[in-house]
Amino acid sequence: MRSIKNYTLATIMFMVASTAVAAPPSIITTGNGTAAACATCHGVDGSGNAQAGIPVLAQLPQTYITKQIADFKSGARSNPVMTSIAQALSAKDVESAARYYASLARPKSQPATADPSVLARGENLAINGAWDRQVPACFKCHAVDGLGVTPVFPPIAGQHASYTVSQLQAWKTGSRTNDPQKLMRSVAENLTDDEMHSVAEYLASLGSAGNTESRMASSATIKSEGDSKKPAPSKFVPPSESTIPKNAFGETVLMGKNIFVNTQQYAKSFVGNGLNCTNCHLDNGRKADSAPLWAAYVLYPAYRKKTGQVDTIQSRIQGCFRYSMNGKPPALDSKEMTALVTYHYWLASGAPTGVKLPGQGFVKVPKPDQKPDIARGGEVYKNNCAVCHGVNGEGTKANGKYAFPPLWGKDSFNWGAGMHRIDTAAGFIKANMPYGRGGSLSDQEAWDVAIYMNSHERPKDPRFKGSIAQTRDKDHDENCLYGRTPKELEALLEKQAKAEAETKAKQAEVKAADGQAKPAPGQLEGYSPATAH
């Protein structure tokens, strides 16, 4: 875009448009008669210019374009050309331009010219990410196929590779800082230049309606440049998906993965909400400290207090469908159960049986000094979670499907799910949220936002019988807020805080007494007439 005097936008667009594209009406005309012709650089069809690194604007959400122009105008985003143009535009000008480009069809993707190995590496990052370096998959935020999640996460499929690379570099160096909650900065800082180039080339190769479902179903985890620079892992690492055998067993592993990643599509009849298994078990069930499947598989059969019996891995999976998915469990001999167990088994290949592996389950977050507080948790949520999960925890959809899951309400997990336990939720949040910034919240913030999330209404516990109070007393402990009113919850927190303070005081007394009762030289440590038996 550049300022041009004494021309209407229609004239400019006529000059740069092909005969196949009709010139739209004037969309920007400033009050002083100067027209800022977006089409001069971005084209009438919004296709941009790959060689010049000018981005595709067609089909970008109107709200996203409006925000970027506002950021150029305020200085939150810097570009000499765009800054001067943005400052000359009125609110009406911006609204017209944004509405026009949002209405256009996405330009057809150009044939990929990059080396196949480059595209394969980029595909792996887009679909699987690099969770060991806090790099979530591109499609986790920008939706399957990279078609975007309005209003925050723009479409990235078909965007020019040169522009994508330039923006990743800008986030990495800090010259661009207008991403929500520093999400893109965190991602870019953990990508190598080679990875940026690879993922940009892959995204550029995607069309406006390309289907990556099939690629996601069989994509292999490919070693990237960043992996080779890291020391050999000391913890258990599940096998690479490239090692899945090309036989009937391998097909069952892939079927299990598909069910796990896209439960809504591959096991919809067993699901009663809007979640997929991978919403809580990140990186397709591979990520440590996110209840990874490989660490769970080797611990079953095992006695569980929740069920009061010895559970197999099959009955454990059934419980997930009943509570976390708020649905009905697949039969033990169903094809879905066989596939899921096979996927668990394959991920645990080489892991020692009966051993609690590092990274198993969720991290244990110590109780903070202050009691968990719903009001503080609401602030943590607003500042760190709402951009993805919605202001009211309703989740965010793209193309009719949840791109970010609902955290409460009818489409979320029910009262009986493990994630409804405040300590469990705090552990998951502390290690994994926000995306790409796991570990950035304090223990206090993790507990506060966990209690805020779980203080909201959600589907009832399927074990419900008689009354909420009876169900709570039978099946829930102090870490669950099942059916409690705000007043009851406040009383419970006060009681917990008082009990914890008394426990700490007693521990301090014992420690002080131990320090005063150190044995004299030559005396047997731990012996005294009072303790002798």
d(CA 3, CA 40): 10
Do 494 and 473 fall into the same domain?
Answer: yes
Average pLDDT over residues 5-23: 36
Q: Tell me what percent of the residues of the chain surpass a pLDDT of 90.
A: 67
∠ CA 88-94-100 to the nearest 5 degrees?
135
Type of residue found at 61:
P
Are 56 and 160 within 8 A, CB to CB? yes
Task: Report pTM.
Answer: 0.80
Read off the tokens for 199: 């993922």
Are 65 and 13 within 8 A, CB to CB? no
The pLDDT-based confidence of 36 (bands split at 50, 70, 90) is low
Sign of CA dihedral 33, 38, 41, 44: negative
Q: Of 203, 227, 251, which closes a domain?
A: 227
Do 86 and 208 fall into the same domain?
Answer: no
d(CA 311, CA 285): 20
d(CA 156, CA 393): 25
The two beta strands, 34-36 and 3-5, are: antiparallel
Bridge partners, 130 (sequence order): 135
354 assigned to some structural domain: no
Task: Give me the domain span that covers residue 409.
Answer: 365-514
Q: What is the mean pLDDT of the chain?
A: 85
Do 319 and 449 fall into the same domain?
Answer: no
Are 48 and 54 within 8 A, CB to CB? yes
pLDDT digits 0-9 by tens, 348-381:
999 999 999 999 999 999 999 898 999 999 999 9
Sign of CA dihedral 323, 282, 385, 156: negative
Q: How far is CA 7 from CA 80, 99, 137, 479, 499, in A?
A: 22, 21, 45, 67, 75
What's the structural domain count of the chain?
4
The pLDDT-based confidence of 501 (bands split at 50, 70, 90) is confident
Are 134 and 436 within 8 A, CB to CB? yes
Do 96 and 180 fall into the same domain?
Answer: no
CA dihedral 286, 131, 392, 416 (to 10 degrees): 20
Do 201 and 302 fall into the same domain?
Answer: no
Question: What was the pLDDT predicted at 406?
Answer: 98
pLDDT at 203 over 50: yes
* Run of H or E residues at 57: none
Do 126 and 256 fall into the same domain?
Answer: no
CATH of the domain at 305: 1.10.760.10
The pLDDT-based confidence of 532 (bands split at 50, 70, 90) is very low
Do 464 and 493 fall into the same domain?
Answer: yes
Do 392 and 506 fall into the same domain?
Answer: yes
Do 248 and 190 fall into the same domain?
Answer: no
Do 337 and 369 fall into the same domain?
Answer: no
Tally of CA atoms within 13 A in the half-sphere of 408 that contains its CB = 20
